[in-house]
Amino acid sequence: MAKLTVDDLKKIKERVLMEDQFRSGQKRAKITVHMGTCGIASGARDIMDALLDELAQNNVSDVLVTTSGCIGICSREPLVTIEEQGKEPIVYEYLTQAKMRQIFRQHILGGKIQSEFVMARGREQDGRGGDR
Amino acid sequence: MKVFRAHILVCGGTGCKATGSEVIHPALVQEVARRGLSKEVLIVETGCNGFCAAGPIMVVYPEGVFYQKVAVADVPEIIEEHIVKGRPVERLMYHEPVTEKPIPHIHDIPFFGKQVLIALKNRGLIDAEKIDEYIARDGYLGAAKALFEMTPEKVIAEMTTSGLRGRGGGGFPTGMKWSFARKAEGDVKYILCNADEGDPGAFMDRSLLEADPHAVLEGMIIAGYAIGARHGYIYCRAEYPLAIKRLNIAIDQARDYGLLGENILGSSYSLDIDIYQGAGAFVCGEETALMASIEGKRGMPRPRPPFPAQKGLWGKPSVLNNVETFANVPQIIIKGGDWFASMGTKTSKGTKVFALTGAINNVGLVEVPMGTPIGDIIFDIGGGIPDGKQFKAAQLGGPSGGCVPASGLNTPTDYEEISKLGAIMGSGGLIVMDEDTCMVDTARFFMEFCQEESCGKCTPCREGTKRMLEILERICHGEGQHGDIEMLEELAASIKDSALCGLGQTAPNPVLSTLRYFRHEYEAHIYDKKCPACVCSGMFKSPCQHGCPIEMDIPGYIALVRANRLDDAYRLMKRTNPFPAVCGRICPQFCAAKCRRSQLDESMAIAWLKRYVTDNARRPRVEPAPVTRTEKIAVIGAGPAGLTAAQDLAKRGYQVTVFEELPFAGGMLRYGIPEYRLSRTVIQAEVDDIVALGVELKTGCRVGRDIDFAQLKADYDCIVLATGAHKSWTLDVEGENLAGVWGAAEFLREVNLGKQAKVGNMVAVIGGGNTAIDAARTAIRLGARDVTILYRREKKDMPAWANEIEAAEAEGVKIECLVNPVKFTGTAGKLTGIVCQRMRLGEFDKSGRRKAVPVEGSQFTLAVDSAIPAISQSGDMSFIPAEAAVQMTKNGTFALVPKAKTATTAAGIFAAGDAVLGPATVVEAIAMGHQAAGEVDGFIREKNSEPPYKAPPEEPIAIPFEVDKEPRVTPRGKMPELTQQERIASFKEVELGYPADIAWAEACRCQRCDGCEHE
């Protein structure tokens, strides 16, 4: 790999923003499973397994699945964030495999937010915190 | 009957009145009349809709349209549009969330809304294993800026401007540390990252490394550039496998991109970073030990100076910073030191990450601006303590730190302010402890940790911590001795002075800080052999029995209920409690608060089982106790404390006379607690048992009026003062002498004396304790139309029991919180209203609750014709002459001799119950009665040079041991109660007592923590 220059950093930033399959619209939804040690200890791997299984079973290819670290509120793990094009992100809490499957069927496929499992909507850093 | 085409219901609840519905009602009437609609539209005032937040509210029928926050100015529009034209006014309508419950925005959740993220800015947003995602969020731009636009000196200057201090706990200014290393001579220098996070309860570094490893690498590049290092190490403990995995991936990717290695980003600066895995020794978090460990030596500290900035790793100038410190660096370089320094306090800038754990609702990682009060972190962000338990303390800084008690909750997170409390900022572990935590046990835990982690190099730490631990273990086993506390303090002082490194020097801190704030817990362990939190299980058979002030054998009588041996259960209870039937109804149940069954489902219904026994067991006939002694004892006051003392003294062979001013014995049981909670026949039966022992009871005889105190002193050898607290506190506001204002104690006494107490139609009770609830429920039964409790804090802060509050509300009592009376108003000497003020919650008070502070300009008047202040009570001590030399406390209670349980400052005069404690509980009064009898007897025997009293052997009661092998989740047995209509029409006991089947099932829920059969 060629060594980067400062300009390359900016190019990578632009490329990531452009090529991001969710941001560029190639995928209609993005599901982030939060997998810090706390999440994993609470069962995030099982949640991921259930999610991948649902994707395969339903032949879904327009949804991006990714992982990330702890969002801070470890006592409500496992947590999953679902982003859909043009909508506010939704954070689900206290997940189980069964809940994850229901959310996949009802929210991702059916468009109905499963409000009883939701912790919050929105993204923590939007216009706040470190970005201000 | 007249038919109206429309009804307008205006809420007349206190909440809506406070927000202005009182003026809306007449405005509506006027407007309807003006339009000639009075015959078509009926305007009705209703009770509270429970939707006070949106008040004033009104509902218009037949459509049932709900209007909120209506102002007088809206009235013509509502009449014109809705009533005349039939078009509901959209803008005032309240819309129910139709299908889904509303989803809060993440910023509206206090946990997230109050945080400010710098070190954690990428948390939850990026895939930690993809460098591009980090770069896309401006990653490595800070490094680029430093390498190409700034000299190393400029970088250091920026860090100095930022005011960033070491986040590992020491709080040393980062810029200064770097400048020392920069100035140090030598070509080879090292930049080191301390990821040897080892404090119990701390997980900031782990989480940061897992979520955003590149932020740490970038911080190290900038730091390395600033000091001139070409090589760096991250010292991370091996038990963080995920963090190490992600760090390795991050390092590989950074090397691949040329962000590590030769000529970073094409600059002339080169740096490579390696991970060194630590084996998990706590001492390796100390900088010199950490460096020794990297060098391959045993991880032991060495004396400083020389400091690592001069001679560090392999004798070369080195800078060691913590993970969180490095994660802040790129942001400071990008946004400038001034930006960072704009947050925080004078000496502590920026933000701090805390790991919140322990007895707290939101366990997790939080980043807050420096200066945020500790209480805000715990109660707003952390969501407070689970299960309604009380906050006790927060441990900051792990084993090197100290605890912050309730009185320190307003302390800002600031290095200097926190050290004033005897704690330290530390790396950010914040362990919250509730009332169920024993502070001696906590100190023992941390001392055990330090002792195990001591590297053994220096004697003070190796031996000193061992000796301190031995003492603490002894205390926790109930084997504490006089002098232990002093020995702990002495050892602590010498370890602090002489240990080699930070680990040893700070190891005594948890002991010193718990001693500073919770010395009474140490004393209770050592002198009373009591663990107040019921944690140190070496000291007791079962937590419930230990938590009971009179140590009733609770598992014992519950086992006897299960075995259906109620007569034996009754006898067992009577051994320690002369008032089991009373306690079966109104005991505050300190026992149940410690019941381990609550960890499975709900705590045991201990009092209700006690009542079941007393309702159903045969009561043995009480024979007079033989009078074997010549001394005579006078007891003043026939409440639970006085009668218990009288019983015990009679059993010990004394002649006892009890003087009681009121017509019947029972004290507050009879004249304070209403009959619907405690039947008079129940009290009388237990009083009769005591009289049957031979105790002489003189009712209707007030000492100081009917008999002189001096006479009593002459006639009796000892006197027990158990006169209670029967005088209500006044509010000290204008108009309190108006007719219609009376104290709750006086009001309840009047009712319980059987006099026709006349209560008004509109009653306000002021206060939040059980007495306030008693007064309110009594007023309802006397026929008051509208009873409102005014409480200055929030409902969850009310000291009254939850089931009492619930029962009061079920009977129609309204509770208005965050309200405080400022003035009573009246005409012709009679009360007509209370001017109240809305309150809001401000800083924390000493009890750990938020203080209620007035909201400016929020005064409103409540129309009432009776007002009952029920804020607290004190005793009427006017019966006792100054010559008696009985000293009082500044609270107006009897003062006791140091270390005594009941002895007053006058020889031969003892005091017990509310007269000493202030308004307390029946079981505490009984406990003091027992203690008073013991001390009176001891006093007399000592004077006569007699040996101490030995209780005669009691007839043994065999306690069986039977428990369910597989306990299943079973809720507490429900208490049958009178119906709503039956209740408010009379003073009959509301609770009817358990039937046999429920009682048996309830008894089977006991898990028998006592663990065995016994006598």
Q: What is the Cα–Cα distance from B72 to B787, expressed in whole angstroms?
A: 27
* Chain A interface disruption, residue of B101, B106, B240, most A CBs within 10 A: B106
Peptide bond into B952 cis (omega under 30): no
8 Å CB contact between B574 and B581: no
Contact assignment for B259 to A4 by CB distance below 8 Å: yes
Residues B473-484 have a mean pLDDT of 95
Per-residue confidence band for A130, with pLDDT thresholds at 50, 70 and 90: very low
Residue numbers in B near A21 (CB within 8 A): none
> Model confidence over A110-126: pLDDT tens digits?
899 998 899 998 887 65
The larger pLDDT score, comparing residue B546 to residue B27, is at: B546
In chain B, which residue's Cα lies nearest the Cα of A75? B363
Residue of A nearest to B105 (CA): A121
Same domain, B259 and B309: yes
Give the model's confidence band at B50: pLDDT under 50 very low, under 70 low, under 90 confident, else very high: low
- On chain A, the residues whose CB falls within 8 A of the CB of B117 are 124-125, 128-130
Average pLDDT over residues B357-379: 94
Q: What is the pTM of this model?
A: 0.84
DSSP conformational letter for B393: E
Q: Would the pLDDT of B94 be above 80? A: no
Inter-chain CB proximity A74 and B365 less than 8 Å? yes
Reply yes or no on whether the pLDDT at B39 is more than 60: yes
Strand order in the sheet with B718-721: B696-698, B655-659, B632-636, B718-721, B909-911
Residue B754: its pLDDT value, please?
A: 85
Confidence grade of residue B51 (pLDDT, cut at 50, 70, 90): low
Confirm whether B950 is domain-assigned. Answer: no
pLDDT at B433 over 70: yes
Based on the fold, state whether residues B734 and B865 are members of the same structural domain: yes
Domains located in chain A, CATH noted: 26-131 (3.40.30.10)
| Whole-number average pLDDT of chain B | 92
Q: Which of B112, B135, B212 faces A13 most closely, judged by CB atoms?
A: B135
> Which range has the top average pLDDT, A7-16, A18-27, B222-231?
B222-231
Q: Does A120 sit within 8 Å of B104, measured CB to CB?
A: yes
Partner-chain contact B211 A67, CB within 8 Å: no
**Contact across the interface for B115 and A124, Cβ inside 8 Å:** yes
Distance (Å, rounded) from C-alpha B853 to C-alpha B840? 5
DSSP assignment of B232-301 equals EEEEEETT-HHHHHHHHHHHHHHHHTTSSBSSGGGSS--BEEEEEEE---GGGGSHHHHHHHHTTS----
pLDDT at B97 over 60: no
CB atoms inside a 10 Å sphere around CB B815 = 22
Residue of A nearest to B212 (CA): A69
Tell me which chain A residues have a C-beta less than 8 angstroms from the C-beta of B331: 130
Domain's final residue, options B837, B872, B907: B872
Quick one: pLDDT band at residue A127, thresholds 50, 70, 90?
very low
Taking the C-alpha atoms of residue B201 and residue B179, their distance in angstroms, rounded to an integer, is 33
Mean pLDDT of B596-609: 94
Q: Which residue of B has its CA nearest to A121?
A: B105
With CA atoms as reference, report the closest residue to B670 among B760, B548, B766, B585. B585
pLDDT for the residue B946: 95
On whether both B170 and B35 belong to a single domain, the answer is: no
Q: Take residue B594 and report the two structure tokens written for it.
A: 């410690």
One domain for residues B427 and B459: no
Sheet hosting strand B58-61, strand order edge to edge:
B41-46, B6-11, B58-61, B65-67
Question: Which stretches within B150-203 are classed as H helix?
Answer: 152-162, 174-183
* Residue B685 placed within a domain: no
Yes or no: say if B609 and B1003 are a contact pair by the CB < 8 Å rule.
Answer: yes
> Domain tally for chain B?
7
C-alpha to C-alpha distance for B69 and B81, rounded to whole angstroms? 17
pLDDT at B38: 84
| CATH for B184 | 3.40.50.11540
Q: Give me the amino acid identity at A43.
A: G
- B591 CB-near residues (< 8 Å, 6+ apart): B543, B544, B545, B547, B548, B552, B554, B606
Domain CATH number, residue B985: 1.10.1060.10
Indicate if the pLDDT at residue B300 is higher than 70.
yes
pLDDT of B631 higher than 90: yes
Looking at residues B275-279, what average pLDDT do you find?
94
CA geometry: angle at B579 spanning B574 and B584, to 5°?
A: 100
**How many beta carbons lie within 10 A of that of residue B537, not counting itself?**
15
Cβ count near B314 (within 10 Å): 11
**Percent of chain B residues past pLDDT 90, beyond the cut:** 80
**Residue with the two structure tokens 């078509």:** B40
In angstroms, the separation between the Cα of residue A30 and the nearest Cα of chain B is 12
**Inter-chain residue contact B123 with A70, CB threshold 8 Å:** yes
SS3 B597: helix
Q: Which of A37, A40, A87 to mutate to test the interface with B (most CBs of B within 10 A)?
A: A37
Interface test with A, best of B132, B210, B267, B354 (most A CBs within 10 A): B210
Question: Which CATH number covers residue B884?
Answer: 3.50.50.60
Neighboring chain A residues of B106 at a CB cutoff of 8 Å: 91, 119-124
Are B925 and B880 members of one domain? yes
Q: Which two tokens stand for residue A111?
A: 């468009």
Which among B105, B121, B243 is the nearest to A129, CB-wise?
B121
Helices (H), B528-565: 543-547, 554-562
ipTM for the complex shown: 0.85
Predicted local confidence at residue A125, as pLDDT:
67
Q: DSSP letters of B126-142?
A: S-TT-HHHHHHTTTTHH
Per the CB < 8 Å rule, is A120 touching B112? yes
**B218-240 per-residue burial string, b: 16 or more CB within 10 A, e: under 16:** bbbbbbbbbbbbebbbbbbbeeb
pLDDT tens, B119-160?
999 988 888 999 999 999 999 999 999 999 999 999 999 999
Q: Which of B107, B256, B332, B362 should one mutate to test binding to chain A, selecting the residue with the greatest count of A CBs within 10 A?
A: B107
Report the half-sphere exposure of B892 (CA within 13 A, side-chain side).
16
Would you state the pLDDT for residue B100? 47
What pLDDT does A1 receive?
60
DSSP A109: I
Q: Tell me which of B432, B451, B466 is where a domain ends.
A: B432
Residue B550's nearest CA partner among B901, B935, B930, B914 is: B930
Q: Is the pLDDT of residue B49 over 70?
A: no
* Structure tokens given for B167: 């986040």
Q: What is the mean pLDDT of residues B557-571?
A: 97
Number of C-beta neighbours around residue B474 at 10 A? 17
Contacts of A124 in chain B (CB under 8 A): 106-107, 112, 115, 117, 123-124
- Label residue A108 by pLDDT band (50, 70, 90): very high
What was the pLDDT predicted at B440?
Answer: 97
Say yes or no: B233 and B140 in one domain: yes
Strand partners, B765: B789, B868
Condensed to tens digits (0 to 9), the pLDDT of residues B678-688 reads 999 999 999 99
Query: Order of strands, edge to edge, in the sheet holding B402-405?
Result: B364-369, B351-358, B429-434, B391-396, B402-405
Q: Does B327 fall in a domain?
A: yes
3-class SS at B670? helix
**Distance separating alpha carbons of residues B663 and B802, to the nearest angstrom:** 33
φ, ψ (nearest 5 deg) of residue B524: -60, -40
Inter-chain touch B124–A34, beta carbons under 8 Å: yes
- Residue B641 resides in a domain: yes
3-state class (DSSP) for residue B930: helix
Tens-digit pLDDT profile for residues B529-541: 999 999 999 999 9
d(Cα B239, Cα B241) in Å, to the nearest integer? 6
Task: Please state, in angstroms and rounded to a whole number, the distance separating the CA atoms of residues B498 and B461.
Answer: 8
Q: Which of B127, B144, B257 sits opposite A1 (nearest CB)?
A: B257
B132 vs A12, A88, A122: nearest CB: A12
Tokens of B123: 């948390």
Region class of A64: left (phi > 0), else alpha (psi between -120 and 50), else beta:
beta
Considering chain B, what percentage of its residues have pLDDT values greater than 70? 97
Q: Which of B167-171, B176-180, B185-189, B212-216 has the lowest mean pLDDT?
A: B167-171
pLDDT of residue B758: 82
Contact predicate A43/A94, CB 8 Å: no
Nearest to A129 among B104, B115, B139 (CB): B115
Residue B916 lies in a domain: yes
Six-digit token string for B750:
């009047």
Q: Examine the domain organization and report whether B408 and B494 are in the same domain.
A: no
Return the structure tokens found at A23.
């941001």
In this prediction, residues B898-913 reach a mean pLDDT of 95
Distance in Å, alpha carbon of A68 to nearest chain B alpha carbon: 5
Residue A89 is encoded by which pair of tokens? 């992100």
Q: Per the CB < 8 Å rule, is A124 touching B124?
A: yes
Contact check, Cβ <8 Å, A69/B140? no
Task: Give the integer Cα–Cα distance in Å for B476 and B470.
Answer: 10
Residue that terminates a domain, selected from B848, B872, B896: B872
Is pLDDT at B19 greater than 80 in this prediction? Answer: no
In Å, how far is A80's CA from the nearest CA of chain B?
10
B209 plus B331 within the same structural domain: yes
* pLDDT of B140: 96
Same domain, B154 and B303: yes
pLDDT at B56: 81
B978 and B862, same structural domain? Answer: no
Would you say how long chain B is, in residues?
1015
Structure-token pair, residue B272:
């490579």
Tell me whether residue B230 is in a domain.
yes
B911-926 burial code (b ≥16 CB/10 A, e <16): bbbbbbbebbbbbbbb
Residue ranges in B454-508 assigned as alpha helix (H): 459, 465-476, 484-498, 502-506
Provide the phi-psi class of B740: left if phi over 0, else alpha when psi is between -120 and 50, else beta. left
In a domain, B683, yes or no: no
Do B366 and A72 lie within an 8 Å CB cutoff?
Answer: yes
The residue type of B492 is: A
* Residue ranges making up the domain that contains B822: 728-872
Q: Per-residue pLDDT tens for B730-772?
A: 999 999 999 999 999 999 999 999 877 788 899 999 999 999 9
Q: Is residue B120 part of a domain?
A: no
**Domain match, B171 and B285 both:** yes
- Helices and strands, number each (H, E), in chain B: 39, 28
Place of tokens 């409902």: B795
Question: In the numeric block, which tokens belong to residue A125?
Answer: 């850093």
When pLDDT is cut at 50, 70 and 90, the band that residue B360 belongs to is very high
Residue of A nearest to B262 (CA): A3
Average pLDDT over residues B290-302: 94
Q: Is B218 helix (H, G, I), strand (E, B) or coil?
A: helix
Q: In what order do the strands lie in the sheet with B190-195?
A: B272-278, B231-237, B190-195, B318-322
- The pLDDT score that the predictor gives to residue B843 is 92
Q: What confidence category does residue B816 fall into, taking pLDDT thresholds of 50, 70 and 90?
A: very high
Going by the DSSP 8-state scheme, the letter that residue A118 receives in this structure is E
Average pLDDT of the residues in B405-414: 95
DSSP E strands: which ranges in chain A? 29-34, 63-68, 80-84, 90-92, 118-121
Backbone angles phi, psi at B658, to 5 degrees: -110, 125
Same domain for B77 and B205, yes or no, is no
Nearest to B635 by CA among B698, B688, B714, B576: B698
